Amino acid sequence: MRDEIIKKTKELLPKEPSLNDYDKTYQSFEWKQAYKELDWFEDNKINAAYNAVDRNAQGDRKNKVALYWESDDGQKLKYTFLDLMELSNKFANVLKNLGVERGDRVFFFLPRVPELYYGFLGTLKTGAIAGTLFAAFGEQALFDRLQNSAAKILVTNKELKERVDKIKGDLPKLEKILLVDAARGDRGALSLPREMSGASEEFKVAHMDADESAFMLYTSGTTGKPKGIIHQHLAILHQHMSAKWALDIKEDDIYWCTADPGWVTGIAYGILGTWSLGAATLVYEGRFSPAKWYELLQEYDVTVWYTAPTAIRILMAAGDELPRKYDLHQLRHLCSVGEPLNPEGVKWGKKIFGIPFHDTWWQTETGGILIANYPIMDIKPGSMGKPLPGIIAGIVDDNGKELPPMREGNIAIRPGWPGMMQKIWRRQQKYESCFINNWYISGDRGYKDKDGYFWFIGRADDVIKTAGERVGPFEVESALVEHPSVVEAGVIGKPDPIRGEIIKAFVILKDGVKGSDKLVEDIQKYIKKHLAGHAYPREIEFVNSLPKTRSGKIVRRFLKAKEMGLPIGDTSTLVE
């Protein structure tokens, strides 16, 4: 069904899209032309947080709601742009009082609470680098990230701090912990509310060079510990333009990005690019449930919705009757990111909401959307769409030579767009290895069809995508071998109809230990606690040996082929 097309007729375009002629804009656009979309200080410097919030708070959007927040237990709060400016200023003053300086790393280990949003902005205002940590992380994942980044400040809550307490003795660079939910300081931590209450609402925002570091996110590759991807202040230009063109955000939109700021989507399109356009954003702290999500869409009159394929598949599985109980007519644009969106998902959007889902493709490293389906453009369901204006995308071979249409190769991007990672924290060589022949090599494989649409095939490496979340097999394997019963482990992503992939581990047990269902559960619990709630193997198989190269590297490709009943390929380099 690859030749199927959803034509963008008038009824599929409830509003005139901001990008109303893709080909013309693509051919003429250069990033420099868009510099005027940002507010620059007189000295030609910028600050991403100033652009996201302050310029709105100082103009006509001052009293406009920027954030609708709903807690897990139903508490509802609203914040205007002015509120966000003042709160982020106060937070910036708190950091300054604690001695935070330009370039220091300030990390957030929090669920989706308001403090995370204004704290992130406040950090950028000081010139420090803001980092986020997904609240499902366990001790080992936290330790690796806080140690590698040499974070100076950590903002968390009382519950999550218990995990931090177990590791903080080994983090000599971590000077202060701020608790968002403590009225007073507690066991080596400060109360954020208390510090905020004494802080001024005025703050002189740091003037940053466009290429100075703004925020960092750890992401998993196929080997080694996670890498700290650093983005520059100018990334907001890419996020702003792509939020305008791909997400079609307008200032009167009520926009819901379901991603957590622990991941890049929650930052680029949950804080920076979308507030920069002056839209109101909904944040729901609670967990996913189909009925609750429909209720939120209805109650907040959400107009633009950015979510992920796993969520879409779960909603589909919950049945078509459920959404019909809600009034969702105000939804006018639907987008998806994070993993392949099946054609059925695209079309289901049209059936239920009257408009299809629009797939967008990008990565933590790319800082913003690179390839997308735009409201104005016909959709070929299953395709990721076409490159954003300003982005040159190609399919290249392993030497960086561009391949003709319909040939499978590496999805690659010409370097130099504003959201491109600026560096990998303390891993210059690793950074350089991402570029070949003046192309950024994404690690994804795909092809381009004759009409210029890009199609995703899979990862070129062993990185796992489970429910849209990126998990490095090495991190899981390292955590598994810490378990007292485990000697060795090999981890793969196993295709799953709902989650895209699930994590499957092949485990060699210590001599004398017998595999059992109870042990499986025990190992799973161990990984959830030590590594992360989302990164545990849903399947564990006990084996006597693992396929390895002569140098002792586990060959996951072999495990995967065997699991899926596919040809195993060349085994000449294996010893077992």
- Beta carbon nearer to ligand PRX, 18 or 364: 364
Distance CA 255, CA 269 (A): 10
- In the bound state with ligand PRX, the residue whose beta carbon lies nearer, of 192 and 341, is 341
- Rank residues 269 and 293 by Cβ distance to ligand PRX and give the closer one: 269
Cβ at position 463, least distance to ligand PRX in Å:
7
Long-range CB contacts for residues 195-199, cutoff 8 Å, separation at least 24: 195/94, 195/97, 195/98, 196/87, 196/90, 196/91, 196/94, 199/90, 199/91, 199/93, 199/94, 199/97
* Tokens encoding 11: 């009824």
Which member of 157, 281, 342, 363 binds ligand PRX (CB under 6 A)? 363
Of the candidate spans 316-324, 354-362, 420-428, 553-561, the one that interacts with ligand PRX by CB under 6 A turns out to be 354-362
Over the window 439 to 478, marking each residue x when it contacts ligand PRX by CB under 6 A and - when it does not, the resulting string is ---xxx-----------x--x-----x----x--------
Residue nearer to ligand PRX on the CB measure, 51 or 265: 265
Contacts of 75 by beta carbon, 8 Å cutoff, 6+ apart:
none
305 near ligand PRX, rule: CB under 6 A: no
Residue placing its CB nearer to ligand PRX in the complex, 112 or 465 = 465
**Options 140, 364, 422, 466; binder of ligand PRX; rule CB under 6 A:** 364
Residue type, 215: F
Lookup: tokens for 187: 């066991």
Please give the DSSP secondary-structure letter assigned to residue 361: E
Q: How far apart, in Å, are the Cα atoms of 486 and each of 141, 194, 517, 546, 560?
A: 19, 46, 15, 13, 20
If binding is defined by CB under 6 A, does position 359 make contact with ligand PRX?
yes
Asked if 239 touches ligand PRX (CB under 6 A), the answer is no
Instruction: Report strand pairing: 439-448 vs 409-413.
Output: antiparallel
258 binds ligand PRX (CB under 6 A): no
Regarding 311 and contact with ligand PRX (CB under 6 A), the answer is no
User: Taking the complex as a whole, how short is the minimal distance between the CB of residue 30 and ligand PRX, in angstroms?
Assistant: 24
Q: How far is the CB of 390 from ligand PRX (least distance, A)?
A: 17
Q: Which two tokens stand for residue 112?
A: 């989706």
d(CA 342, CA 353): 17
Q: Candidates 386-394, 436-444, 447-455, 519-527: pick the segment binding ligand PRX (CB under 6 A).
A: 436-444
- Strands 153-156 and 176-179 come out as parallel
167 vs 314, which CB is nearer to ligand PRX?
A: 314
- Residue 137 in the binding site for ligand PRX (CB under 6 A): no
Contact 265, 338 (CB under 8 A): yes
Residues 204 and 183 sit within 8 Å (Cβ to Cβ): no
Residue with the shortest CB distance to ligand PRX: 364
Joined tokens for residue 548: 């390895």
**DSSP per-residue string spanning 30-76:** -HHHHGGGS---TTS-B-HHIIIIIHHHTTTTTTSEEEEEE-TTS-E
Q: Report the distance separating Cα 151 and Cα 258, nearest Å.
A: 27
Encode burial over 141-159: b for 16+ CB neighbours within 10 A, e otherwise. bbbbbbbbbebbbbbbbee
Query: CB-wise, 285 or 461, nearer to ligand PRX?
Result: 461
Q: Applying CB under 6 A, does 383 fall inside the site for ligand PRX? A: no
Q: Quick one: which segment of 186-194, 248-256, 335-343, 479-487 binds ligand PRX (CB under 6 A)?
A: 335-343
Q: Is 195 a residue that touches ligand PRX (CB under 6 A)? A: no
Single residue of 129, 384, 391, 480 touching ligand PRX by CB under 6 A: 384
How many whole angstroms separate alpha carbon 176 and alpha carbon 190? 7
d(CA 357, CA 303): 13
Q: Which of 300, 361, 536, 558 binds ligand PRX (CB under 6 A)?
A: 361
Binding range to ligand PRX, per CB under 6 A, among 22-30, 240-248, 280-288, 438-446: 438-446
Residue 338 found at the interface with ligand PRX (CB under 6 A):
yes
Q: Which is nearer to ligand PRX, 239 or 442 (CB)?
A: 442
Instruction: Examine residue 362 and tell whether it contacts ligand PRX (CB under 6 A).
Output: yes
Residue 499 Cβ vs ligand PRX, minimum distance, rounded to whole Å: 13
Name the residue among 211, 154, 144 with its Cα closest to residue 177. 154
* Shortest distance (Å) from residue 159 CB to ligand PRX: 25
| Residues 264-283 contacting ligand PRX, CB under 6 A | 264-265
> DSSP string covering 250-263, please?
-TT-EEEE-S-TTS
Residues that bind ligand PRX (CB under 6 A): 219, 263-265, 337-340, 359-364, 384, 442-444, 456, 459, 465, 470
